Amino acid sequence: MLKCDFCGAETDFVVRVVIDKDYDRLTVRHEKRYACRACSEKKEKERQERTKASVQKAK
């Protein structure tokens, strides 16, 4: 069993989640955190909302 680093739920499936602004996977080291499906979907939705707000702000 694996454990979600965000909600603590035990699960058979996790994905790596990067939540740092300006993430650069090639040159900057980041803490690895893993999320269950629900937390992964939540983080992805938050990322999309930030991206959308950023684009609208730039207009």
Summarize pLDDT for 30-52 with one digit per residue, the tens.
677 889 999 999 988 888 888 88
Token couple for 6: 């965000």
Domain positions in the chain are: 2-58
Whole-number pLDDT of residue 16 = 77
Q: What is the pTM of this model?
A: 0.69
Mean pLDDT score of the chain, rounded to an integer?
Answer: 82
**How far apart are the C-alpha atoms of 1 and 19, rounded to whole Å?**
24
Query: Going by C-beta distance under 8 Å and a sequence separation of 6 or more, which residues neighbour residue 2?
Result: 10, 11, 12, 13, 14, 34
